Structure 1
Amino acid sequence: MNTVLHKSETRGNADHGWLNSKHTFSFANYHNPERMQFGMLRVLNDDTVSESMGFGTHPHKDMEIISIPLEGDLMHKDNMGNATVIKAGDIQVMSAGTGVMHSEYNNNPDKPVKFLQIWVFPDKKSVEPRYDQITLNLKDRKNKLQQVLSPNPDDEGVWIHQNAWFHMGGIEKGKSLKYQLKDNEKNGVYAFILKGDVAINNQSLNNRDGMGIWDVKELDIKADSDAEILLMEVPMA
């Protein structure tokens, strides 16, 4: 088993006033040659956007982009004709492929919106751009791992052009879960602690810590407090 530990306070930080973004991996003006990516996981940004503010229209290409709102409502518009609001309990995916233009704004006039922006390298380039979003049943992750993303359009959750699986779990203090990798020969898992205190394979992790794990078949997860976690299984190369 190999691991890499990223404590919350070691992340890059960009505070633009209207946007406070914590970068697990190198992004924009934050560059750390030792934190470029984890396998095919390229970006994990923990964003807080002020009331009625947001990202103006900008381009993306050849990237699988996943947005997971944690608090508040996020307005999305793109040049594919989508104009939607995503909120906590939703997950959004955009295959940028040959190129898309989109904007994202806090849809709330009275409170910030908090969301995760995640980029995964696709397994093929120049695909037709695609957008999807779904609402998940939060009860399906109480003391278990709810699949929210996979490579398969017919599976639970959204899908992307990559051999990747994401799961989210809400675990009560003292409870334990196991996660078996879908492809333990080629994939690793990046675990991100959304809330609380968790031990994964005996490594203690706290709020907003991240840990990458590879060359392993399964994870043992134990909640040392009420906790919420995101597991991202991705190819390592």
Structure 2
Amino acid sequence: MRHQQPTGTRGPILRRADERGHADHGWLRSAHSFSFAGFHDPEWMGFESLRVINDDQVAAGAGFPMHPHADFEIFSYVLSGALEHKDSMGNGSVVKAGGVQYMTAGTGVRHSEFNPSRDEDVRFLQVWLEPKVHGARPGYQTLDIPRAEKDGKLRLFVSEDGRDGSIKTLAGADVYAAILNGEQEVRFDLRDGRSAYLHLAEGSAKVNGQRLQRGDAIALTEPAEMVIEEGQGAEVLLFDLEKKS
């Protein structure tokens, strides 16, 4: 389940916000970067191990009731408001903007996600990654990322080896967050055997010469340097992904 780069092209792949699937359920407004639920795009079933990026906005007091997952690494990156999690493992937490809740679904788990506020929407990116091993023991953890740790720099918060205080994942992925404004610039070297997918969660920025707006994304499938600059309230997630054979 990955996007196949067009034959004969080696440059960046652009995924514009208005090309995504969109759903409005009243209590939930969502944009799907990849095929999900009622949205199907055969060209965008996923990208390497990255299977889902849903940009979800949930109304005050609403949310997703208990539902099952298995054999996915799933995290929610909270952009504004607060998100409450409960699961069949007995975990419960509320994560606010700047926080991450991470779940290894493994052999199977049920969980719910709700907006505990009475008057404020919560907006978050829900991300699913395909694990390299199936049937793992389910698990859950949270991580708060202070703004200073991602201001003008890439902050690793998910990794295969759990380095630098990041959450350890069973997927072939390292995931970074960054906030950029004005003259701040971030550079990332993509290694051989890896692909990169950058999603612009907020604001606007220029990436390898391409101006991206909120919801846009850019992907690389060959070794190259990714340059992120000229941010205007920009918040990005950068996925460094192991290539599938």
Normalising by the residue count of structure 2, what TM-score does the alignment of the two structures yield?
0.92
**SS class of match (1:125):** coil
Residues 1:155 and 2:133 aligned together: no
Q: Structure 2: how far apart are the matches of 1:130 and 1:185?
A: 31
**SS class of match (1:22):** strand
Residues 1:233 and 2:210 aligned together: no
**SS class of match (1:139):** helix
2:136 partner letter: V
Q: Which string of whole-angstrom CA distances, capped at 9 and with x for unpartnered residues, describes residues 50-81 of structure 1?
A: 11001011000000001111111111000000
Residue in structure 2 matching 1:111, options 116, 120, 125: 120
2:143 partner letter: I
Q: Structure 2: how far apart are the matches of 1:96 and 1:155?
A: 23
In the TM superposition, what are the counterparts of 1:202-217 in structure 2 within 5 Å? 202-217=209-224
Q: Structure 2: how far apart are the matches of 1:218 and 1:141?
A: 19
2:117 partner letter: N
Q: Structure 2: how far apart are the matches of 1:124 and 1:195?
A: 33
State the shift of 1:180 in Å: 2.2
Residues 1:164 and 2:163 aligned together: no
Residue in structure 2 matching 1:82, options 79, 84, 91: 91
Residue in structure 2 matching 1:44, options 53, 60, 76: 53
Residue in structure 1 matching 2:77, options 68, 72, 80: 68
**SS class of match (1:196):** strand
Q: Structure 1: how far apart are the matches of 2:65 and 2:77?
A: 19
Decide which moves more: 69-78 or 199-208: 199-208
Q: Which string of whole-angstrom CA distances, capped at 9 and with x for unpartnered residues, describes residues 76-135 of structure 1?
A: 000000011111111111010100000111111111110100000000000000111011
- Contact 1:187/1:236 (8 A) holds in 2: yes
State the shift of 1:143 in Å: 1.1
- Contact 1:200/1:221 (8 A) holds in 2: yes
State the shift of 1:175 in Å: 2.3
Residues 1:194 and 2:201 aligned together: yes
List gaps (5 residues or longer) in structure 2: 1-9
Q: Structure 2: how far apart are the matches of 1:177 and 1:96?
A: 33
2:95 partner letter: I
Normalising by the residue count of structure 1, what TM-score does the alignment of the two structures yield?
0.95
List gaps (5 residues or longer) in structure 1: none
C-alpha RMSD of the superposition: 1.3
Partner of 2:142: 133
2:200 partner letter: I
Residues 1:97 and 2:106 aligned together: yes
Q: Structure 1: how far apart are the matches of 2:80 and 2:18?
A: 21
1:189 partner letter: A
Residues 1:54 and 2:39 aligned together: no
State the shift of 1:214 in Å: 1.6
